[in-house]
Amino acid sequence: MLKTTKHIACSVAISSLIIGLSSQFVGKTFGAFGDSGTTSSQIKACEVFPGYINERFSDIKEELLLFLNELNNLPDITSYTASFEQVEGLAEYSIQQLKEEEEGLKENQIKLEELQNERLELDNRLDFARENLNERAHTIYKWFEKIAQLSEQTTTSCLQDEYPLAGDVLKDLLLKSGLKHSQIENLLFYYHTHQFGQNAAPHIKEAVWENFQNFINETLKSPKNQLEKNKQTMKEEKKKIKEEITSVQAMIKQLEKEEAEKEKEEKQKEAEERKAKKEQEKQKESQKEAAADAFKEKEEVNMDSDEGDKEDQANDDGSSSDDEQTTERDNYGPKDKQTEDAAEKEKSGSGDSQKNKNGETSNKGEEIEEKASSEQEDVEEESKEKE
């Protein structure tokens, strides 16, 4: 279309040039035959044709559609309400319960960090959307500015044509996109109603671009503010969770320290009990050894006592024999009776010595022996007196 327009414009320009110069070429020839003066014809070629302007309106339409699509794809920023609540009665918790609470707090902390990252990504998306919207709005602004300038550069005869997009189509898109402005409306009305030459061509000034920027900033203001509130709320909640984790960890550490001390005391107590038990066993063993030694010593004493009793008995037997011989020599009845009594006593003494084998001490045996010897001496003295 653009090439065709340029081709037509070029052809018209050439034709105009030929027509304009023809009077110079033929004027002298026919001028001699006419009474009128030199006639000059000036036809100005169209610099811009309606088709070119319609293409620019079409470009504006495409940019407006892209602008609307960008607006519709803006992320939805919802509010964030802090969910962290401090748990009461942690002082009564066991170590296991505190560790479970710590694990839950750390999971919440991770989730909160993920939400913070999501909010950061949404913030970046909004910044990116702002750049795209500004870029497309600036393109739209420049196209409108160009069309306004074209209306001043061409003749009204060249602008006579239909401009369908200048009607409700662009008006509706501008309204939906939020880029509606009085200067743009005047420009569209100018082309849609063919007011060429009747009124001054409308201008598109810097105020239109400022209006576009204000609309974009206002559109992004609400989600940006909501994001900022969310970030602040999350920051405060994250701080509380971190403080709670620190508190729980301190409680766990304290309880573990107390348990370690208690375990240490119990082990020390067990060690002392084992030591005392070993001492008792050692004392019992010493007592057993002492008792065994005493029993052994006692057995040895008893054995010595038995041997002494046997020797005494042998001596007593010898003395009895001598007495019997002496009694027989004396041939005195009373003497024999005394000898028999002495023998009875010796037997009795021997019986007592045998009883000492069952537990009596050697001292008792010696006393018996002395007593028997004394009786024997008395018998001998009595016998001598009788002689």
Max avg pLDDT among 263-267, 303-307, 328-332, 345-349: 263-267
- Residue 290: the pLDDT is 86
- What does DSSP assign to residue 86? P
User: SS3 for 196?
Assistant: strand
Q: State the angle between helix axes of 95-153 and 50-72 in degrees (0 to 180), rounded to the nearest 10.
A: 170
Tens-digit pLDDT profile for residues 220-250 = 999 999 999 999 999 999 999 999 999 999 9
Q: Across residues 294-305, what is the average pLDDT?
A: 80
Pair of tokens at residue 89: 């009665």
Tens-digit pLDDT profile for residues 55-105 = 999 999 999 999 999 999 999 999 988 888 888 898 899 999 999 999 999
Q: What is the pTM (predicted TM-score) of this model?
A: 0.58
| Range name among 1-15, 168-182, 186-200, 293-307 with the lowest pLDDT average | 1-15
- Residue 100: the pLDDT is 94
- Residue 37: the pLDDT is 34
Residue carrying structure tokens 């969770």: 241
Tens-digit pLDDT profile for residues 112-154 = 999 999 999 999 999 999 999 999 999 999 999 999 988 877 7
- Residue 170: the pLDDT is 96
Which residues are within 8 A (CB) of 72 and not within 5 positions of it... i.e. 6 or more apart? none
C-alpha distances out from residue 60 to 53, 56, 73, 164, 166, Å: 11, 6, 20, 13, 10
- Residue 33: the pLDDT is 33
- Pairwise CA distance, residues 132 & 145, whole Å: 20
Q: Across residues 183-190, what is the average pLDDT?
A: 94
Torsion-angle region of 82 (φ positive above 0: left; ψ -120 to 50: alpha; else: beta): beta
Is the CA virtual torsion 51, 55, 60, 66 positive or negative?
Answer: positive
Max avg pLDDT among 11-20, 125-134, 310-319, 355-364: 125-134
